[in-house]
Amino acid sequence: MSRTTAEKRAAFRALHESGCFPLPNPWDVGSARYLASLGFQAIATTSSGYAWSTGRADNQATRDDILAHLRAMVEATDLPVNADFESGFGDDAAGVAESVKLAVATGVAGLSIEDATGDAAAPLWPIEIAVARLAAARQAIDDSGGDTLLIGRAENFFVGVPDLNDTLERLQAYAAAGADCLYAPGIRTREEIEAVVAAVSPKPVNVLIGANSALTLPELAALGVRRVSVGGALARSAWGGFMRAAQALSDGRFDGFADAPRGSDLNALFTRGA
């Protein structure tokens, strides 16, 4: 039986209350359904993975593109969906609030708001502006029923400003402004992770894990992390297989398909998921 939006949101919130859960990032309906078949409890969109699937670089999709993508991902499975909502799609706090209301209406169980500006010369919003934007998102969620989880993201390590103290200050401010979960993509060491967890406790922390991480899920749980996402890593893995096979074909070889699943297996998977 399909769950209601309210039931999915309640289940998603409950996942953040104890333990540590993996939050994989599919980039389209097919990858979402495959992840659901593996028994994951929730999924999260990836702005980069989605953008690449449409032939664009990350952060080049429009608000309407992202909203349509969110609706498709929510409808793809019965799992709660956390939306990568980039910087909130608003020039100011009021614009963020308007966009967040539209995102909530897609049925997502959670959404993240970044503090990145997209301007290489000034890559982060000043903290007071970032707080106002996040507070506007909080109010928009509350005005829309209040059950959608809000994730506040400090992008320091992602935009070339790896200042841990500023990251911690920002995350604490976002927690105070109403973020339910905090996230600093790009932190990697045990010491950095422990500092973030301690700074915003008891609120839950998301950690991004990509390639070549030495940390396991149990080790992250022991550090106090509540959820672990992988961003565009799964999409990059898929692109890696495709690019290797395509390059072999371009070179006149046909040995690039050795790891490809059988068409009958994929048909069976998606027949079950229909």
What pLDDT score was predicted for residue 213? Answer: 86
Mean pLDDT, rounded, of the chain: 97
What pLDDT score was predicted for residue 101? Answer: 99
For the record, the structure tokens of 104 come out as 């909530």
pLDDT tens, position by position, 86-135: 999 999 999 999 999 999 999 999 999 999 999 999 999 999 999 999 99
For the question of whether the overall pTM of this predicted structure is more than 0.95, the answer is yes
Q: Which residues of 118-129 are buried (b: 16+ CB within 10 A; e: fewer)?
A: eeeeebbbeeee
For residues 181 and 205, give the distance between their C-alpha atoms in angstroms, rounded to a whole number: 6
CATH homologous superfamily, domain 5-211+219-236:
Phosphoenolpyruvate-binding domains (3.20.20.60)
* pLDDT surpasses 80 at 137: yes
> How many CA atoms are closer than 13 Å to the CA of 227, on its beta-carbon side?
30
For residues 171 and 178, give the distance between their C-alpha atoms in angstroms, rounded to a whole number: 11
The residues spanned by each domain of the chain are 5-211+219-236
pLDDT tens, position by position, 156-189: 999 999 999 999 999 999 999 999 999 999 999 9
For residues 84 and 81, give the distance between their C-alpha atoms in angstroms, rounded to a whole number: 10
